[in-house]
Amino acid sequence: MTFVIRMALREIRASWRRLLFFFVCVAVGVGAIVALRSIIQSMRTGLAHEARALVGADVAILTSRAWTPEVRRDLDARLADAPILARQELIETPTMVRPETGQGAAIAKMVELLAVQPAYPFYGRIVLQDGRPYSYDLLRDHGVLVRPELLAQLGVRAGDTLVIAGRPFTIRGVISQEPGRRVGAFSFGSRVIVGYDDFQATGLLSFGSRASYQILLRVRDDGVTPLVTTLRREFRDRFVGVRSYKSTEDQIGDDLMRAENYLSLVGFVILILGGIGVWSVTRVFVRQKIRSVAILKCVGATTAQVLSAYVVQVVFLGLAGSALGVALAKLAIVFLPAAVAVALGGVRYGLTASAVWQGVGVGVLVSLLFSLVPLLEVRRVRPLLLLRGGTGAAAADVLPSWWTAAGIAARLARIDWLQAGAAVFMSLALVAVAGWQASSLRAGLIVCGGFAAVTVVLHLASSGIVWAVRPAARARSFSLRHAVLSLGRPGNQTRVILLAVGLGSFFVIGVRAMQTNLLRQLTLELSGSGADMFLIEILPPQVDAMRAFLTPRKAPDAPDPRLVPVLRARVTGVRGRTVNLSSYEDVRARGSLAREYTITYRSELEPNEKVIAGRFWTGEPPLAENAQPAEVSIEKSLHVRFHIDVGDTVRFDIVGRPFEATVTSVREVQWSDARNGGFMFVFRPGPFARAPQTWIGIVKAPDDPTARGRLQRDLVERFPNVSVIDIREILMTVQRALDNVSLAISVVGGVAFFSGVLILIGAVAMTKFQRVYEAAILRTLGASTRMLGAMLAFEYAGLGLLAGVIGAAGALALTWAVTRQVLDIPWYPAPWTAAVGAAATTVLVAAVGVGASYDVLRRKPLATLRAE
């Protein structure tokens, strides 16, 4: 045993420079795993403590429609039996605000308004920027608290007056922190807090308005779960949701756990890239060590002893690499930009013990697994080779062609079954490790399967390229000829380099191309004469006035503004030929069919619609107001997913009223042109004429920001209840979010690419001993440094080009799959991104290849030849 450990240590001492690369490969992967896992775990610990603050109560009862007297009565009856300690209500709704006077008076902004009662908040606290404690007194008599960004947007200060729903409110404080605001949650605007009674007095909310009504409860701890269970059971069919801090805790926990596992999988992918580097280093290392192994065997060492010495060495290196990885992770977390930390929830970040152990464990495992197969070569080394003075590399016998029986037999006889078995074991173990990291065997299988597929593609591609460039071996240029020969030399690193760099460039180009696709889609939405401003909550009596107001103010050459009635409805049952859902319970079992739909009624098809089954009522008169059943046209996806068909009867709950309609047609909506309206359910006009409803306005506003601002301001002044959604602003928010996401993915992709480059450097360094010798011979025969340099440049540029092209092709396939299959938006191949990516990969690989071979070019031939 002492021999094994001593030999391992001596080998590390002698070859640490060559093996440096081994543990850098491990370090990058382990660093990624530890850093990603630690960040998420810190977040989880930080946020789980705030679960009560996130809900704002022990139990929250929510609905998206105003409490009806019946629901309230039944709720109160239920709550009377429960151990309630305190109760309060709040309302949250998007609305418009504008300054009363001053330079910002020409602008109106959409905000997320929160109307609170004096007891707010039960948990967590509102922190004001100037450090004053929050109290409800600040909101009394039309006081308002706002976020700093709104001050900047509107050009107002504390003490100024904002107009909300036509009433003046005084800014009494600036919110720096509020309870319950979820990290990264999407919102229409910044938070504004007002008093509940003042808000009710504005009369902003009409029946059917888009708002969230909440009852917050403080409940004795043992009463939380029974209360939640009872409320959920009894009020589910009345569209009342119930949340408790416990369920939120679980949900945050689950979300973050999933995030942690998936991010760890990303780290694992990087580590696999590192593992490929480890494999390549070990392979070349073993080849260089063949003579030493033969000597050891000659002086009495058994195969097991020699193998153990190298395995111990690998474990040492794996541990050292993992330790370096942990240090890198620590550094990354220390230097985590403050802005990113805040965006991630503003908790304290540090390495967590479990992340460190997992990282180190996976690091050592991957080192062992990837070095096992090449290390087994040691078994085949015979001490006899010492008598022959050869390198011990197996003689390249000429085998019969592979498609003949003799050829197959000869190749089968050559297979080292133990090594093949080890390779199978390694693959299974990798699936297990990936499964462990993702906490899902399926995810592990998918990742490893993906890797295997990419490896096969790259392997075939590299065989293909070696074959395809063979004619160039007869090229006139000496350098080109030799570069081509080098690609196919025995023991070449073509495949390893292609795999490492190809995967890296696939990551980076893929992310960029995806981003280009999404942004292009969004910009397309904006360009042309498309509408870019949506008005919501228009009341039926305001429709004509609104049309008159908008028409002269729209963009000069834009079509007339469109006003569309909308109602909110849920499907509570379907009676049909192939599907029969008799209760809301049944509907809910069908998943998204149970969601709340926005519906409309009109007499014609829109330009982006076509009927694919049944008949639309174009040109027919409206139905009678009390016609039962009414007529409805459904979108194709409802037909495809839920098998609702022409002739079926669908039962709805429309703002509290049951309503039946017969499906008379199925429409296909061109969603890519959805600004003309995309509704899943369109009703034949008639029955809703007097139903509580609001209208939405769709208009293209002038491009000039001042004119847009003026339009919004006038609109809010004239119609205080109407909210404006400026698509341009939303688009900018989305673009910022997208930028952040793609930055994050780019960083991960960058790390992957960096590992690819590392592996490239390692592969170059590994084959250097062979090249140095060749270069020395060529030099003796009269080759110039320039010629040798050109040879290297041709070879690596060729490899780089291939890796880049494969990466780019993979990236295009990825974007195609995501855009067409997942997002269902048009695919844009992003040719420039792909071309620039492939070109950059070529240049980078050529530069790294030639740079890493610098001493091949520099070394004096005599010294090299003498050493051989």
Partner 1 sequence: MIELQGISKTVPSGDASLTIVHPLDLRIDAGRVVAITGPSGSGKSTLLGLIAGLDAPSTGRVVIDGTDITALSEDALARFRGARIGFVFQFFHLLPSLTAWENVRVPLEIAGVSGASARADALLDEVGLSPRRHHYPSQLSGGEQQRVAIARALANDPPILLADEPTGNLDSATGRQVIDRLIDVNRRRGTTVVLVTHDAELAALAEVTVALRDGRIVSETAVSRAATS
Q: List residues near partner 1 by CB under 8 A.
A: 2-3, 6-7, 10-11, 13-15, 291-292, 294-305, 382-384, 386-389
Smallest gap from Cβ 293 to partner 1, in A, equals: 10
**Nearer residue to partner 1 within complex by CB, 303 or 746:** 303
85 Cα distance to chain centroid: 42
**Nearer residue to partner 1 within complex by CB, 384 or 452:** 384
Angle between helices 417-438 and 441-468 (to 10 degrees): 130
Smallest gap from Cβ 383 to partner 1, in A, equals: 5
Q: Is 562 left (phi over 0), alpha (psi -120 to 50) or beta?
A: beta
CA nearest to 508, candidates 838, 735, 844: 838
Stated as kind and residue range, the H or E segment containing 451 is helix 441-468
CA nearest to 683, candidates 627, 637, 613, 644: 627
- Characterize the bridge pairing of strands 190-195 and 59-63: unpaired
**Nearer residue to partner 1 within complex by CB, 90 or 296:** 296
Smallest gap from Cβ 853 to partner 1, in A, equals: 23
Smallest gap from Cβ 378 to partner 1, in A, equals: 12
Tell me how far apart the alpha carbons of residues 18 and 281 are, in angstroms, rounded to a whole number. Answer: 8
DSSP string, 547-563: HHHHGGGS-TTSPPPEE
Tell me how far apart the alpha carbons of residues 377 and 310 are, in angstroms, rounded to a whole number. Answer: 11
Tell me how far apart the alpha carbons of residues 483 and 498 are, in angstroms, rounded to a whole number. Answer: 16
**Nearer residue to partner 1 within complex by CB, 30 or 301:** 301
Smallest gap from Cβ 490 to partner 1, in A, equals: 20
Q: Where are the alpha helices (DSSP H) in 609-687?
A: 636-642
**Nearer residue to partner 1 within complex by CB, 393 or 460:** 393
Smallest gap from Cβ 314 to partner 1, in A, equals: 16
**Nearer residue to partner 1 within complex by CB, 382 or 520:** 382
Amino acid at the residue 834: A
Could you give the count of Cα atoms lying within 13 Å of 404 in the half-sphere of its Cβ?
6
**Nearer residue to partner 1 within complex by CB, 187 or 305:** 305
**Nearer residue to partner 1 within complex by CB, 314 or 680:** 314
CA dihedral angle for residue 534, residue 540, residue 544, residue 546, rounded to 10 degrees: -30
**Nearer residue to partner 1 within complex by CB, 11 or 795:** 11
Token readout for 141 is 């008599």
Angle made by CA atoms 667, 672, 676, in degrees to the nearest 5: 65
Amino acid at the residue 309: A
Smallest gap from Cβ 778 to partner 1, in A, equals: 24
Smallest gap from Cβ 867 to partner 1, in A, equals: 8
Angle made by CA atoms 487, 459, 808, in degrees to the nearest 5: 90
**Nearer residue to partner 1 within complex by CB, 93 or 770:** 770
863 touches 811 (CB < 8 A): no
**Nearer residue to partner 1 within complex by CB, 303 or 603:** 303
Smallest gap from Cβ 300 to partner 1, in A, equals: 2
Smallest gap from Cβ 389 to partner 1, in A, equals: 6
- Characterize the bridge pairing of strands 657-669 and 723-726: unpaired
CA nearest to 766, candidates 505, 500, 506, 507: 500
**Nearer residue to partner 1 within complex by CB, 309 or 791:** 309
Smallest gap from Cβ 329 to partner 1, in A, equals: 32
Smallest gap from Cβ 394 to partner 1, in A, equals: 14
Token readout for 217 is 């409860």
Tell me how far apart the alpha carbons of residues 700 and 704 are, in angstroms, rounded to a whole number. Answer: 12
**Nearer residue to partner 1 within complex by CB, 511 or 766:** 766
**Nearer residue to partner 1 within complex by CB, 14 or 331:** 14
* CB neighbourhood size of 693 (10 A): 22
Beta-bridge partners for 161: 170
**Nearer residue to partner 1 within complex by CB, 286 or 669:** 286
504 touches 673 (CB < 8 A): no
357 Cα distance to chain centroid: 26
Token readout for 493 is 């690193």
Smallest gap from Cβ 320 to partner 1, in A, equals: 18
Q: To which residue do tokens 């850098």 refer?
A: 24
CA nearest to 694, candidates 537, 547, 568, 535: 537
SS3 state of residue 835: helix
**Nearer residue to partner 1 within complex by CB, 14 or 817:** 14
**Nearer residue to partner 1 within complex by CB, 301 or 324:** 301
- Characterize the bridge pairing of strands 143-146 and 190-195: antiparallel
The overall longest dimension of the chain from CA atoms, in Å, is 105
> In sequence order, what are the residues at sequence separation of 6 or more whose Cβ sits closer than 8 angstroms to the Cβ of residue 430?
272, 366, 369, 448
- Characterize the bridge pairing of strands 109-116 and 190-195: parallel
Smallest gap from Cβ 17 to partner 1, in A, equals: 12
Smallest gap from Cβ 21 to partner 1, in A, equals: 17
**Nearer residue to partner 1 within complex by CB, 348 or 866:** 866
Map 142-173 to HEC letters. CEEEECHHHHHHHCCCCCCEEEECCEEEEEEE
Smallest gap from Cβ 428 to partner 1, in A, equals: 28
Smallest gap from Cβ 417 to partner 1, in A, equals: 17
Q: To which residue do tokens 């019946």 refer?
A: 70
Smallest gap from Cβ 298 to partner 1, in A, equals: 6
CA dihedral angle for residue 283, residue 287, residue 292, residue 294, rounded to 10 degrees: 110
CA dihedral angle for residue 95, residue 100, residue 102, residue 105, rounded to 10 degrees: 40
- By the 10 Å C-beta count (0-12 exposed, 13-18 middle, 19+ buried), 829 is classed as middle
Token readout for 318 is 């794996």
